[in-house]
């Protein structure tokens, strides 16, 4: 459980964490400078043991000696028991709540890349082709390209392809791709774009199911999240969700809140009013989030806590060459031409009003955040 989840008002979750904190804090009070300190691990192990025994043990007995205070406040055990009961009740309530009916594919998910003779990049694209295809038929992957070789390759992996009909400085315009898939895939529930080097696991589906459950009317929404940079992704890693999770955990690095590599919306998002920013060049991501949140007043959902987005990190440039491309400033120039002023900090993932997380009942849910960094204040 990441500490960032503490910012949520998750009733059951927060109450258990609070109890753990009280317990943890309580035992730390016992610390003396020269004796071994009771670690957080010790406390968590003991609490897990207590929960696994279904409360039929003495909480105090399950703590190692170094963690034991002269006596645990009887209140702590009561609070812990109450928090656990609360979770059980919440899970029961959740189980009984009628589910929103979801049809599949839940998302028409597209990407685009420039064809390349670089063998490393070609391997990355193949990893992406296989990875996204493995989530069919829950999702439908689509590649925007005009290159017949890429079309053939994508089709071989079960992807659909569409031509690039709108460009700026040689890179595809984001809004036009969205409008095209919304029109062509009217049966899909959501529409998404992700960079060509992003790999997912099946938590993509559970996270999007949570989005659809929460936004179950015609309220527009924009979903994004942070990526996890993982170097040296081999085919063996790319082809297994478990391997991807392990690689991300062992050698991945959660990338900064100012880089957004994935966007999902429903069909109610007003794409027509979005300016012609292009993908693969700087600044379009932060502008889109800032504009949506501050000007359109539409919810942004940050999926970082429930959705693993593995970025296949290499030393070479990524999708459409990013900042290394000579036309990297295309989007800045467009904003300047349209006299649009942007405070890019308004478009960081940490500014999202909403976030997804997996709760104790094992379900991914959408929750309101109750605090943001000061820089998120809209200008
Ligand atoms: C790849 O190599 C071929 C043959 O050398 C060349 O014709 C083509 O333009 C190259 N493609 C790219 C994208 O560099
Ligand atoms: C891609 O192909 C479509 C039609 O198939 C065409 O309209 C469009 O201009 C092409 N785009 C580029 C960038 O060549
Ligand atoms: C529909 O969404 C609202 C919040 O937007 C939520 O409170 C409600 O539980 C949802 N309905 C279902 C059936 O999940
Ligand atoms: C990735 O692989 C290269 C060689 O293929 C190696 O030099 C490098 O140390 C590896 N990086 C990591 C983080 O494993």
- Ligand 1 centroid–CA 261 distance in Å is 27
| Pick from 129-138, 256-265, 273-282, 315-324: least confident | 315-324
From the centroid of its chain, how far is CA 292?
Answer: 18
Quote the pLDDT of residue 124: 96
For residue 170, is pLDDT > 50? yes
Residue nearest to atom 7 of ligand 4 (CA): 232
88 and 146 in a single domain? The answer is: no
Range of the domain at 75: 3-96
For residue 4, is pLDDT > 50? no
Ligand 3 neighbourhood includes 344 CB (under 6 angstroms):
no
For residue 25, is pLDDT > 80? no
222 and 297 in a single domain? The answer is: yes
Task: Count the domains in the chain.
Answer: 2
| Contact of 71 with 103, CB cutoff 8 Å | no
Angle at 247 between CA 241 and CA 252, to 5 degrees: 125
- Ligand 3 centroid–CA 98 distance in Å is 10
Report the C-alpha dihedral over residues 316, 318, 324, 325, rounded to 10 degrees: 130
Ligand 1 neighbourhood includes 117 CB (under 6 angstroms):
yes
Task: State the ligand closest to the CA atom of 117.
Answer: 1
Last residue of a domain, one of 70, 96, 122: 96
Ligand 3 neighbourhood includes 100 CB (under 6 angstroms):
yes
Q: Which of 226, 225, 258, 222 is nearest to 344 (CA)?
A: 258
For residue 196, is pLDDT > 70? yes
| Pick from 81-90, 267-276, 290-299, 363-372: least confident | 81-90
Angle at 349 between CA 329 and CA 335, to 5 degrees: 30
312 and 206 in a single domain? The answer is: yes
For residue 150, is pLDDT > 50? yes
358 and 237 in a single domain? The answer is: yes
- Ligand 4 centroid–CA 115 distance in Å is 25
- Ligand 3 centroid–CA 84 distance in Å is 25
Ligand 1 neighbourhood includes 15 CB (under 6 angstroms):
no
Quote the pLDDT of residue 283: 87
In a domain, 102, yes or no: no
Q: What are phi and psi of 317, to 5 degrees?
A: -70, 160
User: Residue 317: pLDDT band by 50, 70, 90 thresholds?
Assistant: low
How is residue 7 written in tokens? 């910012």
For residue 345, is pLDDT > 50? yes
**How much is the mean pLDDT over the chain?**
88
Mean pLDDT value of segment 233-256: 96
- Per residue in 81-117, pLDDT (tens digit) is 898 899 999 999 989 988 899 999 999 999 999 988 9
Angle at 300 between CA 285 and CA 314, to 5 degrees: 40
251 and 350 in a single domain? The answer is: yes
User: Residue 262: pLDDT band by 50, 70, 90 thresholds?
Assistant: very high
Ligand 4 neighbourhood includes 231 CB (under 6 angstroms):
yes
- Ligand 2 centroid–CA 35 distance in Å is 72
Q: How far apart are CA 162 and CA 157, in angstroms?
A: 15
Quote the pLDDT of residue 8: 40
52 and 118 in a single domain? The answer is: no
Q: pTM for this one?
A: 0.85
Quote the pLDDT of residue 13: 56
171 and 217 in a single domain? The answer is: yes
Q: How far apart are CA 265 and CA 215, in angstroms?
A: 11
Pairing relation of β-strands 228-231 and 309-313? parallel
Mean pLDDT value of segment 31-50: 75
Ligand 2 atom closest to the CA of 165, numbered from 1: 8
Quote the pLDDT of residue 257: 85
For residue 23, is pLDDT > 80? no
119 and 227 in a single domain? The answer is: yes
């Amino acid at each position: 459980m990441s500490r960032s989840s503490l910012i949520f008002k998750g009733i059951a979750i927060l109450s258990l964490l609070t109890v753990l904190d009280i317990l943890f804090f309580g035992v730390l009070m016992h610390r003396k400078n020269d004796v071994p300190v009771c670690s957080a691990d010790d406390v968590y192990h003991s609490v897990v043991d207590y929960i696994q025994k279904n409360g039929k043990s003495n909480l105090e007995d399950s703590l190692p000696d170094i963690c034991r205070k002269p006596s645990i406040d009887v209140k702590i055990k009561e609070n812990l028991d109450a928090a656990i009961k609360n979770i059980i009740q919440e899970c029961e309530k959740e189980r009984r709540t009628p589910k929103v009916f979801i049809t599949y594919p839940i998302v028409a998910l597209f990407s685009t890349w420039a064809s390349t003779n670089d063998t490393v990049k070609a391997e990355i694209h193949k990893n992406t082709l296989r990875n996204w295809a493995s989530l069919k038929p829950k999702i439908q992957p689509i590649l925007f390209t005009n290159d017949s070789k890429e079309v053939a390759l994508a089709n071989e992996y079960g992807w659909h392809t569409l031509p690039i009909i709108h460009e700026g400085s040689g890179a595809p315009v984001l809004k036009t791709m969205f409008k095209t898939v919304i029109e062509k895939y009217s049966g899909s529930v959501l529409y998404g774009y992700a960079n060509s080097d992003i790999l997912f696991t099946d938590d993509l589906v559970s996270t999007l199911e949570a989005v659809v459950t929460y936004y179950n009317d015609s309220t527009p929404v924009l979903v994004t999240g942070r990526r996890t940079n993982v170097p040296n992704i081999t085919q063996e890693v790319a082809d297994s969700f478990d391997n991807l999770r392990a690689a991300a955990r062992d050698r991945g690095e959660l990338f900064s809140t100012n880089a957004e590599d994935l966007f999902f919306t429903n069909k109610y998002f007003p794409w027509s009013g979005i300016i012609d920013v292009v993908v693969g060049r700087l600044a379009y991501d932060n502008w889109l989030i800032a504009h949506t949140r501050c000007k359109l007043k539409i919810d942004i959902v940050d999926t970082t806590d429930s959705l693993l987005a593995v970025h296949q990190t290499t030393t070479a440039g990524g999708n459409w060459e990013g900042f290394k491309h000579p036309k990297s400033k295309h989007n800045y120039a467009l904003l300047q031409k349209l006299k649009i002023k942007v405070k890019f900090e308004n478009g960081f993932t940490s500014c999202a009003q909403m976030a997804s997380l997996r709760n104790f009942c094992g379900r991914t849910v959408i929750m309101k955040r109750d605090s943001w960094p000061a820089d998120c204040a809209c200008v």
